Amino acid sequence: MKTAIIVRGHARTWNLVKEHNLRLMSDIYGSADWYFATQYSTTIDRESVRNDFQGFDIKGIVFLDEQDYPLSINKADAKHWRYWMPAYWKIAWLDYHIGLTKRRYELENGIRYDNVVFIRTDCWYFAPSGGETRAVHQLNSMSAAHIGPSLMSDDDWTNDDLVWRTGRSAADLLLMRWLDTHYDRDNDRQLIHGNSHALLGLYCARNLIGYDWHGDSFKYTIIRPDHLDSMPWSWEKHNPNYTDSQHWHLRSLEEKIQWCEKCGIDPCDYQLVD
């Protein structure tokens, strides 16, 4: 099984989770190929990322300028979408660019990854209760684990947007979702749809990406700057009922910026400043 691990997202708490996540994934997948994509900020830079991946097979690093992001959010009805952008469209934007890098490497080297793991920069991952075994369960080319579109209502789907594992064709489709032909710049309803899980579920359904629950392997905690005093994180500290809305999202803007500064994180990573 040839594995690629794609890390992407705003840098955020990458410096708090990187050592653990690199070690965990390497323990499971051995000499996997790594790809990394983020936006420019003062939290990390290309050189620091290369240093982070010393001893690992890093095949591609992509840094994008936030100012080049092409999706307009200027319409009055879409103002609040600014705060939802990272959850779907900006991750899709990063995936599109790092996906081109991945595919180019495959073509130039005559290989295909038949196991692709997608993780974020700001989560602490676990593989509990036999997760290591399920993490190497061979997936069908068009199958994905952790992405199981479940119908909530007529126009909403539940989904997981923090970790995916896919077969090779499903990976290529997910990496190209930025070009989703169902997106229309003049469709205000889609712009103001704040449920990133629903958009992902609908995309999977339209593109016939099948859910293989046998491959569900990982659990995670989103690590926010206010976790700093509790680091390093552990399975014992993991609370499946914990949500950001109970802590981080209740903090004032000033508090959030102070925590970012304490962690050496650019507040732009959390859309706290323009």
DSSP calls for 173-222: HHHTGGG-TT--TT-HHHHH---HHHHHHHHHHHTTPEE-GGG---EEEE
- Mind listing the domains of the chain with CATH numbers? 3-242 (3.90.550)
Q: Please tell me which residue, 265 or 181, carries the higher pLDDT value.
A: 265
Mean pLDDT for 77-92 is: 61
Distance CA 19, CA 249 (A): 26
In this model, does residue 172 exceed pLDDT 60?
Answer: yes
Distance CA 63, CA 101 (A): 12
Q: Which of 60-64, 65-69, 79-83, 193-197 has the lowest mean pLDDT?
A: 79-83
pTM of the model: 0.90
pLDDT at 67: 80
Q: Please tell me which residue, 11 or 82, carries the higher pLDDT value.
A: 11
Given pLDDT bands bounded at 50, 70 and 90, which one contains residue 84? low
Mean pLDDT for 234-240 is: 87
DSSP code of residue 142: T
Mean pLDDT for 41-56 is: 97
* Mean pLDDT taken over the chain: 86
Distance CA 158, CA 179 (A): 22
Distance CA 19, CA 36 (A): 15
Q: Which residues contact 151 (CB under 8 A, 6 or more apart)?
A: 157
Q: Please tell me which residue, 161 or 11, carries the higher pLDDT value.
A: 11
Q: Which of 102-111, 181-190, 199-208, 231-240 has the lowest mean pLDDT?
A: 181-190
pLDDT at 149: 57
pLDDT at 240: 77
pLDDT at 266: 97
- Tokens encoding 88: 């779907």
SS3 232: coil
Given pLDDT bands bounded at 50, 70 and 90, which one contains residue 134? very high
Dihedral angle computed from the Cα positions of residues 198, 203, 204 and 205, in that order, rounded to the nearest 10 degrees: 90
Mean pLDDT for 87-101 is: 89
Each residue of 66-80: pLDDT tens digit?
888 776 655 554 454
pLDDT at 152: 53
In this model, does residue 202 exceed pLDDT 90?
Answer: no
Q: Please tell me which residue, 3 or 206, carries the higher pLDDT value.
A: 3
Given pLDDT bands bounded at 50, 70 and 90, which one contains residue 201? confident
Which range has the top average pLDDT, 48-62, 128-142, 226-240, 244-258? 48-62
In Å, how far are 14, 22, 188, 235 from 125, measured between CA atoms? 12, 10, 35, 9
Peptide bond into 86 cis (omega under 30): no
Give the Cα-Cα-Cα angle 69, 74, 76 (nearest 5 degrees). 150
pLDDT at 100: 97
Given pLDDT bands bounded at 50, 70 and 90, which one contains residue 107? very high
pLDDT at 192: 47
Distance CA 12, CA 58 (A): 20
pLDDT at 157: 58
